[in-house]
Amino acid sequence: MEIIRTWKTLIFLYTVLLTLMIYIHPTISQLDFAKSSCQDAGNSNILNSTYQKNLESLLSSVSSDPQLINYGFYNLTVGEEAERVNAIALCIGDTSTERCRICVDESSWKILEDCPSENGGIVWYNQCLLGYSGSGNYDWGRESIFNGNKASTNRDKFVEAVKRLMGRLRVEAALGNSTRKMGKGEISAGNETVYGLVQCMPEMSSGDCDNCIGEGLALISEARMGARIFRGGCVLRYENYIFFKPTANASPSSSPLPGPTPGSKRGKGKTTAIIVIIVSILSIVILSIAIYFVLLMKRRKKIPSDEIQIKGIAFQEATSEISNVEAIQFDFETIKVATNEFSDKNKLGQGGFGAVYRVQISRTFEIDR
């Protein structure tokens, strides 16, 4: 019964562990990579340079920087002249602070993987963007992804509705404040409902934000059912399905992202830390139970089934159903012969009821005299 209970416990703990891995881990790891762009800088190579060291130093601290945590964006420069590096990051749309930090953290190695030796690079996910440049200029970053499907009917009206929506959101974003420049909304386009979002880096001026979004809008000319247009300082997206949280009665441009205090440590976030702790604890518990189970089995194997120990009036046997000494009786002469007339060579020690001897009568016994 004890073995069955042990196995049931192990199965239960493994089930809990698998549940955590299946249902919790995907929520923090599934990010939607979109595009990357590297600045063409001729024959320049940053490998093993001071520029590269400054870049790696910046990227290592972006996800834990208080500016990103509190306001959802990051802009910092380190180094001087040729070794100067600027890095930017932005939480896109309604991405939570924690998820954005994970996104930026992943982008930090992704950007070095895609642009290992260039002077500038940008990676875009649906949840965030991250870029670096020696000049601090990101106008060269231009990428677009258009949905292959087109509106089935009234394509001209569809395009007109999309541009009208994005134009309205363009104004909304440009009028945002120094911590949030974003516009989101929806519009009816025939049989379809189109959802759109535009966003600029918060430190951009209203004019620069308006121009950046305007350049992206110029690419919308066909009745595509969705598009993601990426620029160095802004992003545009529209789909025929909702991909953001609807705004109640508040303008998103005035609502900074909620986040933890600036003292948060670097890493992939509190969620990841919690998962690591839970999995670690469960692993230790499972390992401890497994070790106990193995030792228990070994201990049982070491007890010979034919060895009986008798002390006083009670003894134990691994497989026998005998529970007390009165079930076995020997005459005195038999015991005298078995102990070689109670020889000291057969004496094991002194018990509470007298001396204890070992005898050999087809099985091994310990008997108090």
The pLDDT value given to residue 7: 58
User: SS3 sequence, 283-349?
Assistant: HHHHHHHHHHHHHHHHHHHHCCCCECEEECCEEECCCCCCCCHHHCCCCHHHHHHHCCCCCHHHEEE
> In the predicted model, is pLDDT for residue 117 greater than 70?
yes
Residue indicated by tokens 């196995």: 7
Average pLDDT over residues 46-70: 88
Final residue of a domain: which of 268, 292, 319?
268
Domain shared by 61 and 159, yes or no: yes
Domain shared by 68 and 138, yes or no: yes
Domain shared by 262 and 207, yes or no: yes
Domain shared by 315 and 187, yes or no: no
> Using one digit for the tens of pLDDT, what is the confidence trace for 291-301?
877 777 666 65
Record the pTM: 0.61
Encoding tokens for residue 18?
A: 């698998």
> In the predicted model, is pLDDT for residue 2 greater than 60?
no
Confirm whether 278 is domain-assigned.
no
Confirm whether 148 is domain-assigned.
yes
Domain shared by 51 and 116, yes or no: yes
- CA–CA separation, 54 and 42 (whole Å): 21
Domain shared by 253 and 363, yes or no: no
Domain shared by 177 and 235, yes or no: yes
Confirm whether 2 is domain-assigned.
no
Higher pLDDT, 59 or 325: 59
> In the predicted model, is pLDDT for residue 266 greater than 70?
no
Confirm whether 298 is domain-assigned.
no
Q: How many domains does the chain have?
A: 2
Confirm whether 21 is domain-assigned.
no
Average pLDDT over residues 97-115: 93
**Rg of the chain, C-alpha, whole Å:** 37
The pLDDT value given to residue 232: 92
- CA–CA separation, 72 and 179 (whole Å): 8
Domain shared by 263 and 321, yes or no: no
> Using one digit for the tens of pLDDT, what is the confidence trace for 34-44?
999 998 765 56
Structural domain that includes position 225:
31-268
The pLDDT value given to residue 100: 93
The pLDDT value given to residue 128: 95
What is the residue-wise DSSP string for 86-129?
EEEEEE-TT--HHHHHHHHHHHHHHHHHHSSS-SEEEEEESSEE
Averaged pLDDT score across all residues of the chain = 77
The pLDDT value given to residue 112: 93
Domain shared by 121 and 188, yes or no: yes
Encoding tokens for residue 181?
A: 């420049």
Domain shared by 210 and 64, yes or no: yes
> Using one digit for the tens of pLDDT, what is the confidence trace for 74-84?
999 998 888 89
Confirm whether 291 is domain-assigned.
no
Confirm whether 169 is domain-assigned.
yes
Final residue of a domain: which of 268, 289, 318?
268
> Using one digit for the tens of pLDDT, what is the confidence trace for 328-347?
567 777 777 777 777 877 77
- CA–CA separation, 227 and 248 (whole Å): 25
> Using one digit for the tens of pLDDT, what is the confidence trace for 231-255?
999 999 999 999 998 866 444 333 3
Domain shared by 222 and 351, yes or no: no
The pLDDT value given to residue 164: 96
Confirm whether 154 is domain-assigned.
yes
Domain shared by 246 and 342, yes or no: no
> In the predicted model, is pLDDT for residue 290 greater than 90?
no
Final residue of a domain: which of 207, 236, 268?
268
The pLDDT value given to residue 88: 95
CATH code of residue 253:
3.30.430.20
Higher pLDDT, 321 or 170: 170
The pLDDT value given to residue 3: 55
